[in-house]
Structure 1
């Protein structure tokens, strides 16, 4: 039985083919790196690897251990010493030294106690057209700081205080050449290898535990699925058999600490009459297996305080604490700045 998503994709391909070709498939490889000075209880260096938006690897200066977080990535590093050595050098030698030196240099410019330097580096690859785009952005203390222009091979200062650093970095032609090679050759080659490896990797199919949660009687009902694998799934609410979007808050797929995944989708029920509740149902779809359907039934909803929800789902909802702190908190300011900058740039 074809899933709703596969049918939609087939239909989209058919319509698009009448005038063009089938919609493109894009893949991404991104490194989220954070260096800090003067921040207690956080490693001075943290690196997170994301492949197609899913956390795949992690390292930090405290554990001194490279931690692949997907089965296919573990298998790849076990059999590919060149990859393992490259990431070990990137995590524990080259990047930490660069970040430490850069933060020390920036300390001379800014009279601040806490210093946080962040970097987003990576590439995107269009599997159909072969087009490759690279990105290299720096943030400093929660604000967009520097952008690398691959066309001109120069740095762009994103705030007045970054001009001095731009002038210094522009003179380092050796580093610029290295970055150009990283973004246009190494990153795309690794990304293509990962995509091929994932496709050839025998992935297991694990169904999730699905439950309905609600903090209070006036809160939205959250349909929560956890423990599924692989991480390519969809979940949505429907009424009378039709998918609905109004009053629905879709969530993102998150990684659990056991290599499985979780996601949730919220439904605002305050405007739904009691007699209409039976018309609603939550649907979880994982390619190749039968859909899981949960009826909107007050009798099965678990109403808990935030603290109880956190305790009951701790085992499934945990992601590495340091990674969560750094990626979701420290990088938040820079990520927002980066997103705003890229949006304005594209406009």
Structure 2
């Protein structure tokens, strides 16, 4: 009962002080298995929507409902299928021209968005361009001009700064439209999609000689880390980290295993498992305690008795059915070849 009460205390909703809206836009050429354009919308670093020039994938039905309720879906589809692919493909090829490149693998990446300080209400925006993995330019919102971060970006900066109307429009979108969209997402009645929920953590072990798995499930979002400690210090030796996996209800699970073959029984109390969820100050800490480990040997005798009883009942019913069938049909001589043929036929794949 004490553990259940502690779990309820830990599973609280905690929103970060700062909120953000980000668009990650990528245009590429020379990569056959990659869409020429890809875009991702993030709110508080949680993926809301992905799109390329062929499809749109909304991460959750509630986000789709938000788009519909605020008449944003048409804008999203128009941007993803028409406006942005053409725009960023043109920009990528323009970058290549400036850098005297005609062929090869090249990637243009743009991140733009805004941040909202929940406490002060202050809003800040940003737009940065990267090319082939290097930071190339950033937009100065105050002067409405571009800053070249590499010498080869100077000519591009000059060209973009000459188009003052476009720079002014970019600043307008980043400082006014984006913050309004972010506030809409945050005030939406289903903004539980931005909640942070701590997990239920268990210690699992297949056999007494197997590694002990620290398993966390039911947490949200997937910005989490998990590790083993010894005497308060994170350890890496004899530790195996699992991936973060989705649950059917939209939450996530993960595990981290500890090989205890070299751990003396008297040293178990020196180890603990730590689960950390982004934007939540208090970690979930689970002591390595043999009494708390769940394994395959924990089936109660009563459960085993029920299973054995059911198996015996099944055997009796099957025997009775066979006895009645033979009584009605009479005993017939065994046909070894036919039986062998039938056996092979029934075991063959359909």
Smaller-chain TM-score bracket: 0.5 to 0.7
Question: Aligned match of 2:81 in 92, 96, 102?
Answer: 92
Question: Which string of whole-angstrom CA distances, capped at 9 and with x for unpartnered residues, describes residues 10-63 of structure 1?
Answer: xxxxxxxxxxxxx98100111111110111100001111111111111111133
The residue that corresponds to 1:170 in the other structure is: 161
Secondary structure, counterpart of 2:93 in structure 1: helix
The answer to whether the aligner puts 1:231 opposite 2:239 as a matched pair is no
Distance apart, 1:197 and its partner CA: 1.4
Deviation at 1:143, TM superposition (A): 0.6
Structure 1 residue aligned with 2:52: 60
* Matches of 1:160 and 1:257, distance apart in 2: 48
Runs (5+) with no aligned partner, structure 1: 10-22, 302-347
Q: 2:18 aligns with which of 16, 26, 47?
A: 26
- SS of alignment partner, residue 221 of structure 2: coil
2:234 pairs with 1:247: yes
1:45 to 1:235, Cα distance in 2 relative to 1, 3 A: closer
CA root-mean-square deviation: 4.5
Change (3 A) 1:206 1:283: closer
- Residue 134 (structure 1) aligns with: 125
**Unaligned ranges ≥5, structure 2:** 296-350
1:72 corresponding residue in structure 2: 62
**d(CA) in 1 for partners of 2:261, 2:126:** 43
Contact 2:10 2:198 survives alignment (8 Å):
no
1:194-213 equivalence runs, <5 A: 194-197=185-188, 201=192
Structure 1 residues 264, 189: CA separation in 2 closer, same or farther (over 3 Å shift)?
farther
Q: Matched residue of 1:90: which SS?
A: helix
Give the structure, 1 or 2, with the largest relative contact order (CA under 8 Å, sep 6 or more). Answer: 1
Q: What's the offset of the Cα at 1:209?
A: 8.0
Please report the TM-score for the alignment, with normalisation by the length of structure 2.
0.63
Equivalents in 2 of 1:285, 1:152: separation in Å? Answer: 41
Residue 106 of structure 1: aligned partner: 95
| Pick aligned residue for 1:83 from 57, 72, 83 | 72
CA distance in 1, matches of 2:118, 2:90: 38
Instruction: Write the distance in 2 (CA, Å) between the matches of 1:260 and 1:230.
Output: 5
Work out which of the two has the higher radius of gyration on C-alpha atoms and give 1 or 2.
2
Cα separation, partners in 2 of 1:75 and 1:101, compared to 1, 3 Å: same
Give, in whole Å, the separation in 1 of the partners of 2:16 and 2:251. Answer: 27
Aligned pair count? 275
Q: Which stretch has the larger CA shift, 171-180 or 117-126?
A: 171-180
- Match in the other structure for 1:327: none
Give CA deviations for 1:266-300 in whole Å, capped at 9, x if unaligned.
Answer: 8798996553224434365899xxx7957466987
